[in-house]
C-alpha cells in the first residue's frame, strides 16, 4: 500500500476532479444501496476476461472461478478520481502533514495500543530488532490502530485500478501492471485460504488490515505471530505487530542504527544540488557529506554507513532537512515518501515518551 505529503495533496486535489464518463450496465446496482445505481462490472470487459483466463492458466486455478470473481468486480469511479495526479505546482507542507498525525487523538490511541500489547511489542523488537516505537508509529499512521482500515471491496478497487487506471497519470503504464499483479496475488491468496474474494475490504488502493498490506506484501511478509495457525491482519494485533516488524527486517532494517540525524549547513562550502541529487537514497559517507557543507554533530559523525540529505518542504516557509540513514530509507520502503517516513518515526517516538517505564 502501499505515500505521502504528496498523497495528501493529491487526495485533496483529486477529490475536485470531475468524474470521467464511464460505460455502465443499467441492469446492476451497488450492493447495499437503496437507490438504483447502475454500475459497470468487469464481465463486460474483454481485457479483464482475457486477463482472468491467463491468470488461471499461470496460477493453476479454475478458469471459471477466476472469471466469475473478476467478472463480479465493479468499476469504482471514486477510485479512479483518487488516483489522479496532483495538479502541477501543488505545494508540499511537512508541518501540516505532521500535524495530521502527531495529535492528541492518535497519541492517546497509540498509548492504549502500546499498553495493551507491551509484551508482544517487546517480543517483536527482540526477534526482529525493529523498535517498538516504529511498529506503533506505522500502525498509527496507517489506520489509527485499526479504526480506519477502509470500506472499499478489495476486488473492486484492484480490478478498477488494473483496467481503468487514469491514463493521464505520469506512471500509468507501470501502475496498471502493478495493480494487475496485486489483483493476481489477491485472488491467489483468497483461493488458497478459502476466503470469499468479494468479502475483504480495504483502502481505495486495495491495501488491507491494520497495517494496510497490499496483497503481495501479505503473501511475502505477513506472519502468524500469535501462533494460532493462521495469519489475520484484521483481528490479531499480535499478527499485525509481528508482520510489520518482519516487513522492515526483510527490507534491511539494521538493529540499533538511528533513522536520521539533525543537520545544518556551512554556507561557505555548501553544495546543496549535489547533496539533494540522490533524493532519499543514502549515498554519502560522513566525510563526503560534511565536505559538501552538511553539518552534523555527536553520534552522527561516527555513523558507519551512508547518509542522504532529506528535504521536506513547508509550503512557503523554510524547508526542513534531516540526514537520513539506511534505516530511514528502509522506512520509506513501506510507503515511498520521506514525509510518511518521518511522520511514522515521530509518532512512534511521541507515543513512547508517554509510556510509563516499568
Provide the pLDDT for residue 3. 42
pLDDT of residue 22: 27
d(CA 275, CA 313): 16
* Confidence class for position 87, pLDDT limits 50, 70, 90: confident
- Name the grid cell of 318: 523554510
| pLDDT band for position 304 (cuts 50, 70, 90) | very high
- Is the pLDDT at 8 greater than 50? The verdict is no
Whether 272 is covered by a domain: the verdict is no
Q: Average of pLDDT values for 313-334?
A: 96
Q: Is residue 276 a part of any domain in this protein? A: no
Report if residue 30 sits inside a domain. yes
Q: Is position 248 within any domain?
A: no
User: Whole-model pTM?
Assistant: 0.88
- 82-86, 96-100, 136-140, 183-187: least confidently modelled range: 82-86
Whether 295 is in a domain gets the answer no
37 pLDDT tier (thresholds 50, 70, 90): low
Catalytic hit among 125, 142, 182, 326: 142
- For residue 332, being part of any structural domain is answered with no
Query: Can you give the CATH number for the domain in which 80 is found?
Result: 1.10.8.350
| Tens-digit pLDDT profile for residues 235-293 | 999 999 999 999 999 999 999 999 999 999 999 999 999 999 999 999 999 999 999 99
**Is 172 part of a structural domain of the chain?**
yes
As for how many domains the chain has, the answer is: 1
Whether pLDDT at 111 is above 90: yes
Residue 5 has what pLDDT? Answer: 39
Domain that holds residue 27: 5-88+151-202
Q: Please give the Cα distance from 80 to 10 (Å, whole number).
A: 12
Torsion of CA 340, 345, 349, 351, to 10 degrees: 40
Is 46 an active-site residue?
no
Asked if residue 101 belongs to a domain, the reply is: no
Amino acid at each position: 500500500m502501499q505515500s505521502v505529503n504528496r498523497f495528501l495533496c493529491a487526495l485533496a486535489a483529486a477529490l475536485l476532479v470531475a468524474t470521467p464518463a464511464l460505460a455502465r450496465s443499467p441492469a446492476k446496482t451497488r450492493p447495499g444501496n437503496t437507490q438504483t445505481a447502475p454500475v459497470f462490472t468487469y464481465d463486460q470487459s474483454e481485457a479483464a476476461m482475457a486477463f482472468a483466463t491467463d491468470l488461471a492458466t499461470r496460477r493453476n486455478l479454475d478458469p471459471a472461478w477466476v472469471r466469475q470473481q473478476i467478472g463480479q468486480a465493479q468499476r469504482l469511479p471514486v477510485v479512479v478520481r483518487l488516483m489522479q495526479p496532483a495538479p502541477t505546482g501543488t505545494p508540499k507542507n511537512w508541518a501540516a502533514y505532521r500535524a495530521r498525525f502527531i495529535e492528541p487523538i492518535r497519541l492517546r490511541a497509540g498509548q492504549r495500543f502500546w499498553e495493551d500489547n507491551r509484551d508482544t511489542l517487546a517480543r517483536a523488537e527482540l526477534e526482529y530488532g525493529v523498535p517498538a516505537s516504529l511498529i506503533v508509529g506505522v500502525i498509527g499512521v496507517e489506520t489509527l490502530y485499526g479504526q480506519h482500515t477502509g470500506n472499499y471491496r478489495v476486488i473492486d478497487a484492484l480490478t478498477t485500478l488494473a483496467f481503468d487506471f487514469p491514463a493521464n497519470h505520469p506512471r500509468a503504464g507501470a501502475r496498471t501492471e502493478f495493480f494487475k499483479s496485486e489483483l493476481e496475488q489477491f485472488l491467489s491468496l483468497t483461493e488458497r485460504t478459502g476466503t470469499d474474494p468479494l468479502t475483504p475490504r480495504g483502502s481505495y488502493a486495495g491495501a488491507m488490515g491494520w497495517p494496510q498490506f497490499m496483497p503481495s506484501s501479505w503473501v511475502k511478509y505477513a506472519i502468524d505471530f500469535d501462533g494460532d495457525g493462521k495469519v489475520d491482519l484484521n483481528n490479531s494485533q499480535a499478527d499485525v505487530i509481528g508482520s510489520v516488524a518482519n516487513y522492515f527486517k526483510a527490507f534491511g532494517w539494521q538493529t540499533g542504527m538511528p533513522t536520521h540525524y539533525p543537520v545544518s549547513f556551512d554556507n561557505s562550502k555548501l553544495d546543496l544540488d549535489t547533496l539533494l541529487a540522490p533524493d532519499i537514497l543514502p549515498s554519502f559517507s560522513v566525510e563526503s557529506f560534511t565536505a559538501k557543507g552538511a553539518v552534523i554533530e555527536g553520534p552522527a559523525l561516527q555513523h558507519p554507513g551512508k547518509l542522504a540529505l532529506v528535504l521536506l518542504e513547508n509550503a512557503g516557509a523554510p524547508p526542513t532537512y534531516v540526514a537520513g540513514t539506511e534505516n530511514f530509507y528502509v522506512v520509506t520502503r513501506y510507503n515511498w515518501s520521506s514525509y510518511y517516513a518521518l511522520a511514522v518515526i515521530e509518532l512512534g517516538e511521541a507515543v513512547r515518551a508517554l509510556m510509563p517505564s516499568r
